[in-house]
Amino acid sequence: MKLLTILDCYIHNDTILNKLDSFIDKLKSKNSDILLISNTTIPIEIQQKVDYCLYDSNNHFFSSDWEFSELFVIKFSISGGNIQDVFPKLQPHGLSVMINIFNAITIGKSLGYTHFEKLEYDPLFSDESFNNLSLLPSRCLDENKKGLYLLNKITNPPDVSFHYFFSEIDYFLSNVKNIKSENDYRDFTNQTNGNNFFINVERFLYQNLVISGLKNFVLIDEEERDLKFPNTYWNSEVSPNNIPKKYNSCTSRLYWPMDTNEHVVLLSMNYDNKHKERIIKCHFDDGFIYTSTHHITSKGSYTYDSITPNIQFIEVFENGELLYTEHISEVNNLIEVS
């Protein structure tokens, strides 16, 4: 086996750059051959640490011309509370992720690699977890399987994680739909599911495995994952590309409190490092309009107001331009204050 480690990263702030740098050092400590893929420019000092770099300036995004049967939930904590942000289940950047993976695997094959493992840049591993991760390729080969995936069977419908997977290169290229464009993705969903409902890349990959035959793979479910990878934070960063474009990398939204119906929360959360100023007009059922100004300075910063529950909708402005309107009747977002 000649193993290539494919590391995917979207570099848009110094925090991500530092995590990437640290994780590369960790991977190189076990002598990994690393191919780093990105749709953002890769600093020279990072390039010099890895074996290969694939930079694609064409950052391909899924269009919004899909039907949605599911919702996408991002969970995070703020000081004194927890947030559930709910969006239509569109992964705008997922298209580039799939295109990049196939390009990277094809390059790996041309370089003589027979197997690959795919990783994100931002997991926070304990030493025990990282050591167990290093054993997964050998386990797959020992069990005479074509690949190894982390199965999310609690989700409905089930899918597989993109935080880590391992596969024989030739088998993957022969049995997973090669995505070169959004039309390739749409053709697969139409042929497999008979509709135009969007599925995320995790579900896309799982459905390809089902067609190939799940018996060909080692599948590690959530229970085994928790045992083998204790004290692991698999996804410590949320890319602004996973947030619908209309929010411009910063959400200003309404939230239902989990423990009261006496108010609703208007909260702005910044997913980028650029300072944002949001002018938010809150329209109430009695015709009153309340205007709130939110300054959100950097990634992870937030600000909020508590407002009366008779609000009807909000209009969100940035730089004098109306970005979007959201109605309380459509709100599924939740907030829990401890």
Of the two residues 299 and 304, the one the predictor is more confident about is 304
Percent of the chain surpassing pLDDT 90 = 58
pLDDT mean over 299-310: 90
| 8 Å CB contact between 24 and 46 | yes
Q: Which residues pair with 75 in a beta bridge?
A: 84
Burial zone of 283 (CB within 10 Å; 0-12 exposed, 13-18 middle, 19+ buried) = middle
**Token pair listed for 330:** 């459509």
Residue 285 has pLDDT above 90, yes or no: yes
Q: Quickly tell me which residue has 């100004």 as its tokens.
A: 293
Per-residue confidence (pLDDT) for residue 238, from 0 to 100: 58
CATH number assigned to the domain covering 243-337: 2.60.40
What pTM value is reported for the model? 0.71
Residue 60 has pLDDT above 70, yes or no: yes
Q: How far is 204 from 202, CA to CA, in rounded Å?
A: 5
Name the strand (E) or helix (H) holding 210: helix 201-212
How many residues appear in the chain? 338
Helix (H, G, I), strand (E, B) or coil at 234: coil
Q: How far is 265 from 282, CA to CA, in rounded Å?
A: 11
| 8 Å CB contact between 68 and 43 | no
Per-residue confidence (pLDDT) for residue 65, from 0 to 100: 83
pLDDT digits (tens, 9 = 90+) for 80-92: 678 888 876 667 7
CA 171 to the chain's CA centroid: 25
Residue 144 has pLDDT above 90, yes or no: yes
Q: How far is 144 from 79, CA to CA, in rounded Å?
A: 48
Residue 241 has pLDDT above 70, yes or no: no
> What is residue 48's DSSP assignment?
T
Per-residue confidence (pLDDT) for residue 237, from 0 to 100: 58
φ/ψ bin of 144: left (φ > 0), alpha (ψ from -120 to 50), beta (otherwise): left
| 8 Å CB contact between 243 and 173 | no
Residue 210 has pLDDT above 70, yes or no: yes
* Range ranked top by mean pLDDT from 111-125, 171-185, 246-260: 171-185
Q: How far is 196 from 185, CA to CA, in rounded Å?
A: 10
Q: If you average pLDDT over every residue of the chain, what do you get?
A: 89
Residue 34: which pLDDT band, with cuts at 50, 70 and 90? very high
Which of 60, 59, 55 has its CA nearest to residue 7? 55
Per-residue confidence (pLDDT) for residue 123, from 0 to 100: 74
Of the two residues 103 and 90, the one the predictor is more confident about is 103
Task: Give domain 3-71+91-228's CATH number out of 3.40.50, 3.90.550, 1.20.1630, 1.10.150.
Answer: 3.90.550
Annotated domain spans of the chain: 3-71+91-228, 243-337
Per-residue confidence (pLDDT) for residue 89, from 0 to 100: 66
| 8 Å CB contact between 289 and 296 | no
